[in-house]
Structure formats: C-alpha cells, structure tokens
Structure 1
Amino acid sequence: MAGRVAERAAAMGAEIVELAGDRITGLKDDDPRTEYRRAKSTLAVTVASAGAMRPQPIPPSADWRFDLATGCPAHCQYCYLAGSLKGPPVTRLFVNLPEILEHLPPLSGQGRITSTNADRAGEGTTFEASCYTDPLALEPLSGCLSETISWFGERSDDLSLRFTTKFAETASLEAAVHGGRTRVRLSVNAEEITRRFEGGTAPLAARLAAMGRLARAGYKVGLTVAPIMPVEDWEGAYDRLFAAASAALPAGADVTVELITHRFTPGSRDVLLGWYPATGLEMDPAVRTVKRNKFGGRKYVYPAPLMREMRATLEGQAAARLPGAQLLYWT
C-alpha cells in the first residue's frame, strides 16, 4: 500500500520524503499557527504499532474502535481531536491493513453497545473506524477504506463497520462489495456552522447528496449531527437540515440519527485558540456547565435547561422529517 500511496500523492503534486525511521522533523515552531500549517500539510505513511492495532471500547457509537489512520486533513475550528493526539496534528496513515483487521474477529459478541443491546442487536458487533480520523478523506490516496468495507462485506460472522465523514467522493465505496455490513454516517450540521467552522471539507449539499447515492447503492446510512450549537434561529436551521436530508434520501433507506452537542475541555480550548486565534466559535467557560469525569477531568457543556430545550426540539424535528429513522443517542 505504501507504494500506491506514494504514486498517487506524487501524481497530485505532493513532495515525497522517505525517512529512515518514524520520526518526523521540521514541524515544531514557536508560533502554534505555523506549526499547525506544517503538520496539517504532512501525511505520514507508517505501520501501526501493536498498541495502535488493539481495538478499544467506544461508547456510545459502537462496541469497538479501530484505526485506519490518526489525524485529519480538514480544518474544523471545533476539532474534537485537538488536545487528544500527541504532538503536532500530522495525519498518520497505517499501511499494515491486513494485520489491523486480524485483531477484529476475536471480539465478536464481546462489546457492550450493540452486541448486548436489544435495540441495536441487529447491527451485530460494531467497529467504529472514524474515532481519530476521517477515513473517506484519505481514500483517494490509500484505497484502504473501500478495502475495509469489502473485508467486512465478505464475512459470514456478525461483524459490521461504521464510520462518519465530512467528505463526499464516494465512487470507490459505491463500487465496493459492502454486503450490507457497513453504515456510512455523514457528519452534518446547520448550514451556518458548516460554512463558518468546517474548512477543507465538502459542502453540506454535497455530503447529503453522497448520503443519497450510498443509500441507493444499498448502504445503511446515517446522520451524525455534530456539534450542535444554539446559533441564531437554531430551531429553523436544524429543521432545514433535516428537511434537506429527507429530500436527499431514497424511499425505504435504512437511516440512523446521532445528536451530539458542542463541548470542550480546557486543554482542547487552549489548542484550538492557538490554531484559530480569530475564531468566532463560542468557547466561554463562563456560559457553560462543568462536567467532571471519574478521573477529575473537566468538560464544558451547555447548561441543563438549554440542553433540554435543544434535545426536545431536534429529536422532534428528526422524527417529523425522517419518520423511519432510528435515533441512537443524544449527548
């Protein structure tokens, strides 16, 4: 795979550098924005370590997560990866795909989200591939996502694949032998949020069109509405989103909806403000509620009354616009 990636990258005009080891130099800078730009324009093609190949629980999305890559080439100003990946935000693509996939079958029936949940048992043992990357963003270079889809599609056990994306080039996925074992969720939001805060991604209309194409190709699809924010006229903005999604889907499509509100940690806030000092994204701890985990970590979420109002509104809109869809969770 490494040779294929290098050939495709060179054809796109990228500079190819072969390293003797796995250490990338020349990225560090006293200016966080300069370091960010250098890192975001760097793709490291490498081998996943034994630790990186070990699947981990990933509630509430799926039983397990596994990584085809870490890091993302997009420029979302609320990036959930900020502060969670060590070092500059380089995208690392793993080329030892067969070894990564070998770790998955022994976990059949061992999860706690779909494996033992009566409401989601039809999904089988689920594996999330987009926890630390957007795998469709890397598909034109690697082809590893369509290979992974085919690997799941050709199996006879209960394993199924899930991933979410903000990109829309789906030709290789439509041609893959998916066997109904993959659910592709499009990460979407109100138009104003998508336009202002999601640089380098496909336009909202293109994502919804891609969802429609995949559904017509027999895929199970979904909407990951994230991160939900109470922008001006948020009620109307999200209702328009659900209406547009409904219009893009063919009759009888198998659709899920996940609703995820905006939140941040002190560490991610500091990182994001270093990357995007002029951002208009609200990250004011004074207007948020603090949630603490069992390890003492802090997360800033919207106050409970606003959360209740947004939840009731968006769940009602989703049910009205997408009556056949399954709402998986609100968080």
Structure 2
Amino acid sequence: MSAVRPAGAARRGWWPKRLLLTRAARDWAHGRAMAERAAAAGTEVIELDGDRLSLRFSEDPRRAYVEAKATVAVVVAPPSKRRLQPIAPSADWRVDLAEGCPAHCSYCYLAGSLKGPPITRVYANLPEILNALPAYLGQGQVTSRSAARAGEGTSFEASCYTDPLALEPLTGSLAAMIAWFGGWEAAASLRFTSKFADVTPLLALAHGGRTRMRASLNPRGYARFEGGTAPVAARLRALRAMAEAGYRIGLTIAPIIAAPGWESAYGALIDEAAAALHGVPALDCTIELITHRYNPGSKAVLQSWYPGSDLDMSGQDRTTKRTRFGAEKQVYDAATMRALRGFFEQRLADRLPAARILYWT
C-alpha cells in the first residue's frame, strides 16, 4: 500500500483523519475524486493493494472506537448492497450512499446493525447505484400505493445507514444524487435526514422539487446525547434555507427520549422549529416521530462506546417488543407511549398546523 499526506487545505465540515482507498474503488472516477478531495484537505490517504479492510486498531476498546470513527474507507458497493430493501414507514426503498456516520450519538441505532469497528464506508460506484433505481419504480408499499403520500411517487430513503450530509464535503454523493433525481422524469422522490447543517452546496442544485430534506432534532438540553453534530439552531437554519430554495422539508424528531422534564424540553423544541419556519412561502413540511428504542446488542455496544452516558437504558418504563423476524427490542411501555404521543400531536397541531405527521413509532 502507499500513503500520501500533502499540506492541508482549508477544511470545511467533517473530515476523516485517514482515508483508505481500495483497489476496486480506484477504478471509479467518483472514488478517485473522493481520495483527491481528502488529500487536498490534509487527510492521510492510504491506497490499499486489495479490497480487504484488514486494519489493526488499539487493544483498548474505547481507543479503537475513536480510531475507527476517524477512518473512512472508499469501497465498491457489491450487488447485494445494490438490491434495495423496503424501509417502511419512511419510504418505499432504502438506497445507501455509505454505511456509518462520523457523529457520536449515545443512542445510535447503527450500533446494533453494523458489524466490526465503526469505520465509515463510502461507495465509489455511484453510477451503478443510481442506474439500479428505475427498476424499482411503482414497486414499493409505502408511497407508491398510498393515497395520502401519492405525490411522492416511489420514494427512496438515503439516510438509513448513514448521515449523507455529514459526509458530503468528502463524497459529493448527495449532491450528485439530488441532481440525478432532479433530472429523472419519473414519479419518484429522494429523502434524507440529517443532524448536520452545511447545505450551502445543495441550495443551487436543479433538484426539481423531487428531494425532501429533514432535520433530525432533539432538544438543546439533550446535546450530550448527540456528540459531534451541528447545533439544533444551525440545523433549523439549514432547513429553512432548503425550503427557501424550493426543497420539500421535514422534521424528524428522533429519538424521542422520555427523560425527566421531557414535556418542557420538547415543547421548547417545537416552538423553536415553528419560529424558524415561520413565513416560509408555500411550506411543504412533514413530521416523523420516532421514540427511543434499543435491543440487547445495541445496548452492549453503546455502553462500551459511551461508558459515561446518562442515557437511560435501565429498562424502567419499558416493554419488550418482538419484530416480525423474532428479534427483541425495548420500547416505552403503553402508558409512556400514550403520554408522549398525546403531547406531540397536540403541540404540533397548535404550533405547526401546516405540517403533517407522517407516522408515529
């Protein structure tokens, strides 16, 4: 393998400390562009001889986590990753530009989903990923066949296994996908959600009204659970800027955490969102409400990554729910769920009456 680290250019947004460029990724112009962009920003770029990510990290689990979080691998998404999976209730299909995220959220649901050290993998073969999408038109179960959401056409969710806006300074993948959807003359739409805020490169794109950006939000007082992300106020400013640029927008209030004082905390958050979006002409805003949940595997991983976190995963006010595949997860009990849902539905109706709630889970 070879490595080069030139003098760093001005860095905007998040950048990894090192980038691994696999042999297969070098065959793609998009992959080479990511490596060049990283090198220009001062990131160490390591060109691998093959496609295996056999790396040594510290034996200390906490240190190994930090090292992995600062590492990005540019890889090629194999055919199995390009076969799309349903992603109800958000959208018809999940389309991945990457796997992994640079943020340090102590509730991260990816902790129980991705195997091995939390290296972020970004995909070099973006043209193949995009070229696979037309085969899925009209085939979904969420918006493709929903009278309430028919205006979205076949919907594709790009933020299931990553935060694409967080990685955009490095990848450019989100902008490329938005422009691709903007030029796609089909009943289809793109969706992504983010806890980051640098949307400037997206504002002038010819998006054609086919992309909905959602800001993923929690109260300011919960910032300790969302390390490395943009401040809530910055996310809301970004959301308004996107709306003013003609994008469809939304709020993803997630995960809703029933910590002491949650009513006043989330009430203030909803008020802040309403103020940030006040006066936006022809506002098209959706709301997704997702309560905090975890499973035994993700709990163990998160407690090893964030041993000092005070996020409650004690099981108090929880009940066990089984997925259709038989896996267990801990969700809030019925009484807590009723209190949360009633509060959010009433407060949102009062403060954001023009927005529509897509789902509660």
Pair in the same fold by TM > 0.5:
yes
Report the counterpart of residue 214 of structure 2 in structure 1. 185
Contact between 1:186 and 1:222, CA under 8 Å: does it hold in 2?
A: yes
Q: Deviations over 1:189-224 (max 9, x none)?
A: 11111x111111100000000000000000000000
After superposition, residues 58-77 of structure 1 pair within 5 angstroms as 58-77=87-106
- Structure 1 residue runs of 5 or longer lacking an equivalent are none
| Alignment match, 1:101 | 130
Amino acid paired to 1:203: P
User: Which aligned pairs between 1:278-317 and structure 2 lie closer than 5 A?
Assistant: 278-317=308-347
CA distance in 1, matches of 2:324, 2:274: 40
Q: 2:303 matched to which residue of 1?
A: 273
Q: What is the TM-score normalised by the length of structure 1?
A: 0.97
Alignment equivalent of 1:51, drawn from 65, 77, 80: 80
- Tell me how far 1:242 sits from its aligned partner: 1.2
Q: Are residues 1:240 and 2:268 paired?
A: yes
Select which of 113, 117, 127 maps to 1:84.
113
Q: Report whether the alignment pairs 1:257 with 2:296.
A: no
* Matches of 1:291 and 1:153, distance apart in 2: 40
Q: Distance in 2 between matches of 1:257 and 1:27?
A: 42
2:161: which partner in 1?
A: 132
**Preserved contact between residue 182 and residue 210 of structure 2 (Cα < 8 Å):** yes
Deviation at 1:289, TM superposition (A): 0.6
Per the TM alignment, residue 53 of structure 1 is displaced from its structure 2 partner at its CA by 1.0
Over aligned residues, Cα RMSD in angstroms? Answer: 1.1
Q: Contact conserved, 2:103 with 2:226, CA < 8 A, in 1?
A: yes
Structure 2 residue aligned with 1:121, among 138, 144, 150? 150
Q: What is residue 36 of structure 1 aligned with on the other side?
A: 65
Which letter does structure 1 place at the counterpart of 2:284?
A: D
State the 1:285 CA deviation: 2.3
- Conservation of the 8 A alpha-carbon contact between 1:174 and 1:214: yes
Cα deviation, 1:149-193, whole Å, max 9, x if unaligned, reads 010011111111001001100111102110000000000011111
Contact 2:74 2:123 in 1 (8 A): yes
Match of 2:230 in 1: 202
Per-residue Cα deviation, 1:13-54 (whole angstroms, up to 9, x for no partner): 211100011222334444321221111010001111011111
The question of whether the paired residues in 2 share the 8 Å contact of 1:27 and 1:38 is answered with: no
Counterpart AA for 1:57: P
The answer for the alignment partner of 2:244 in structure 1 is 216
Alignment deviations for residues 75-116 of structure 1 (CA, whole Å, 9 cap, x no partner): 111101002011111100101111001111111111000000
Q: Which residue of 2 aligns with 1:230?
A: 258
Q: Residue type matched to 2:161 in 1?
A: Y
Identity of aligned residues (%): 58
SS of match in other structure, 1:35: helix
Structure 2: segments with no counterpart, 5+ residues: 1-29
Structure 2 CA distance for aligned equivalents of residues 319 and 11 of structure 1:
48
Q: Distance in 2 between matches of 1:223 and 1:184?
A: 9
Query: What secondary structure, in the 3-state scheme, does the structure 1 residue paired with 2:251 have?
Result: strand
Answer with 257-266 or 225-234: which moved more.
225-234
Query: Take 2:144 and 2:62, find their aligned partners in 1: how far apart are those partners?
Result: 43
- Supply the AA of the counterpart residue of 1:12: A
Residues 161 and 183 in structure 1, CA contact (< 8 A), matched pair in contact too: yes
In structure 1, distance between residues paired with 2:52 and 2:42 = 23
Q: 1:250-292, CA deviations, whole angstroms, 9 ceiling, x for partnerless residues?
A: 1431000000000000000000011011111111124411111
Q: Is contact 1:105-1:159 (8 Å) kept? A: no
1:151 aligns with 2:180: yes
Name the stretch that deviates more: 265-274 or 317-326: 317-326
What's the CA shift for 1:233? 2.1
For 2:320, give the aligned amino acid.
V
